[in-house]
Amino acid sequence: MIRPFGINEFWFIVMAVQWTLALSAVAFAGGALGGLAVALARVSPIAPLRYAALGFIRLFQGTPLLMQLFLVFFGLNIFGSGINPWLAAAIALTLHASAFLGEIWRGCIEAVPRGQTEAAWALGLRYYDRMKSIVLPQAAKIAVAPTVGFLVQLIKGTSLASIIGFVELTRAGQIINNATFDPFTVFGLVAVLYFILCWPLSILARRMETRFAVATRR
Amino acid sequence: MSVTNATDRAADAGMPAVRMEGVDKWYSTFHALKNIDLEVARGEKIVVCGPSGSGKSTLIRCVNQLEEVQKGRIFVEGIELTAGPKNVEQIRRDVGMVFQQFNLFPHMTVLENCTLAPMRVRGVSKAEAEETARKFLTRVRIPEQADKYPAQLSGGQQQRVAIARALCMNPKIMLFDEPTSALDPEMVKEVLDTMIDLATEGMTMMVVTHEMGFARKVADRVIFMDQGEIVEVAEPEEFFSNPKQERTRTFLGQISHA
């Protein structure tokens, strides 16, 4: 019954990387849109918007990602969407990323000197132009490094989707381990694959942080 | 068209550029402006001075509502600023401001700094905005810096760009908030000269500054503020040679030692 760990098992796990990447990409893209909305709401002059965004952030920062996955997974089931691990994982991770990126980017927006906004006001620029042309481009420069850092966390976070049955890298490892009973080899490979995905990003983040630090010194 | 303009001008003739009526401002419990009444005529140059924390910056920052007031009314070019956000938007288009820290947009070239607002706020075409920008950059004597970024310029050059940027909106009033305070001494003159040019051309100006030479030369009236109050208003000659208030005398004594 027990299979040896062979080339087919190896490729099964390696091919599952694409689902980890797909889930990460969807969550990151959705999280970027959601995060921008949350960040803008957090710095909005409209108080109810600020509090709503704050509540959203606190909720997702204060609960484990696994619980968020469970709640969306079982919640979708209650609302009649059936059992759909891919949809549930995509929604939960998008919400999760929206909250975290929203909070990261709020900090970056607030790091843009107040004088920039005042100069924009004084020139009569309206909210849209102020944000699009003045504040956000400067915040984006500050945001690159922490955003890449969060992306690393997000890629690793997708491994939790294995628990609701989405076959990504970790779940593929579990499946092969159940057949081969060779956990050290299997999860060793899984870990190496995560490392290959995340390490270059970590280096990139550190390099950009250094470059930004040099650019802002003076 | 010309008839309307003529009537407008006739009706406008007596209207002050800025009028403040019983203005009070608090920062939480700190009373920053106390019952300010002030009229600034069109074309008038006002210098506002006073010790730090006296409310002089707050005063001019109220004219384009960078600071909101809690009491009183402010009119700019006959439009009530304190009547709502629509008016604030309209007034900000017509009131230029120059800041102590320049506040140029660091991610844009000098030319882009100068063309952004005319294009986005006034709807001017890019070509026209650039032509106007180059005209004003020439007037502040740095036409050759148009394609550089602010960080590549000296402080004095940056402040002149800031003046050009404000002028590109064709403002009716210019506010200056300690425009030379962040500059190295050798760059103060080039900025003051630019401001003197502007004054000579008849611009309405409100200037917060410690440059008393500038005040003597350019100001129609000097306002001395202390602890949120306007303590004394006088023509510069009178203000410097014969100040009426004790607090003014103390202040002038202190800065003449500097």
Per-residue pLDDT at A215: 62
Residue B17 in 3-state DSSP?
A: coil
Higher-pLDDT residue of B5, B24: B24
Residue B10 lies in a domain: no
The reply to whether residue B99 touches residue A138, judged by beta carbons under 8 angstroms, is no
Q: Mean pLDDT throughout A25-34?
A: 98
CA B194 → CA A101, A122, B61, distances in Å?
A: 45, 20, 21
Residue with tokens 């409310």: B55
Query: A80 pLDDT band (50/70/90 cuts)?
Result: confident
Q: B165 vs B82, which has greater pLDDT?
A: B165
CB contact under 8 A, B121 and A119: no
Contact yes or no for A121 and B121 at CB 8 A: no
Task: Give yes or no for A124 touching B (CB within 8 A).
Answer: yes
Residues of B with CB under 8 A from a CB of A: 64, 66, 89, 92-93, 95-97, 99, 101, 103-107, 116-117, 120-121, 151, 165-166, 169, 175
Query: Does the distance separating the beta carbons of A125 and B117 come in below 8 Å?
Result: yes
| A122 has a pLDDT exceeding 80 | yes
Helix (H/G/I), strand (E/B), else coil: B64: coil
Of B66, B105, B175, the CB nearest to A121: B66
Question: Quick check: A210 contacting B, CB < 8 Å?
Answer: no
- Looking at the predicted complex, does its ipTM rise above 0.95? no
- B110, B146 contact by CB (below 8 A): yes
Distance from CA of A116 to the nearest CA of B (A): 6
**Both tokens of residue A169?**
């890298």
Rounded CA-CA distance B119/B94 in Å is 15
pLDDT of B9 > 80? The answer is no
Residue A152 to residue A27: CA distance in whole angstroms:
12
Q: Which residues of A touch B166 (CB under 8 A)?
A: 122-123
Backbone angles phi, psi at A176, to 5 degrees: -65, -40
Closest residue to A137, CB basis, from B89, B107, B117: B107
The mean per-residue pLDDT over the stretch B39-51 comes to: 96
CATH number, domain A7-217, options 1.10.3720.10, 2.40.30.10, 3.40.50.720, 3.10.20.740:
1.10.3720.10
Amino acid identity of residue A46, one-letter, is I
pLDDT in tens, A173-185: 999 999 999 999 9
- The answer to whether A127 contacts chain B (CB < 8 Å) is no
Nearest to A122 among B64, B105, B151 (CB): B64
pLDDT digits (tens, 9 = 90+) for B68-124: 999 999 999 999 999 888 999 999 999 999 999 999 999 999 999 999 999 999 999
Q: What pLDDT is recorded for position B13?
A: 58
**pLDDT bracket for residue A118 (50, 70, 90):** very high
The beta-carbon neighbor of A134 closest among B105, B151, B175 is B105
Percentage, residues of chain B above pLDDT 90: 90
pTM value is 0.88
In sequence order, the 6+-apart residues with CB closer than 8 A to the CB of A79 are: none
B257 has a pLDDT exceeding 90: no
Tokens of A125: 């620029």
Q: Number of CB pairs < 8 Å for A and B?
A: 58
Give the total number of structural domains in chain B. Answer: 1
What does the pLDDT average to over A147-165? 95
Q: Is residue B102 part of a domain?
A: yes
Domain of B208 in residue numbering reads as 16-107+172-256
A208 has pLDDT over 90: no
**How distant is the Cα of A50 from the closest Cα of chain B, in angstroms?**
20
- State yes or no: pLDDT of A106 exceeds 50: yes
Supply the CATH number for residue B182's domain: 3.40.50.300
List Cβ neighbours of B202 (8 Å cut-off, separation of 6 or more). B43
Return d(Cα A142, Cα B106) in angstroms, integer: 13
What is the residue extent of each domain of chain A?
7-217
Task: Tell me the two tokens of residue B163.
Answer: 């003046």
CA-nearest residue to A122 within chain B is B92
Q: Which of A113, A122, A129 faces B97 most closely, judged by CB atoms?
A: A122
**Residue of chain A whose alpha carbon sits nearest to that of B164:** A123
User: What residues of chain B lie within 8 A of the CB of A126, using their CB?
Assistant: 89, 120-121
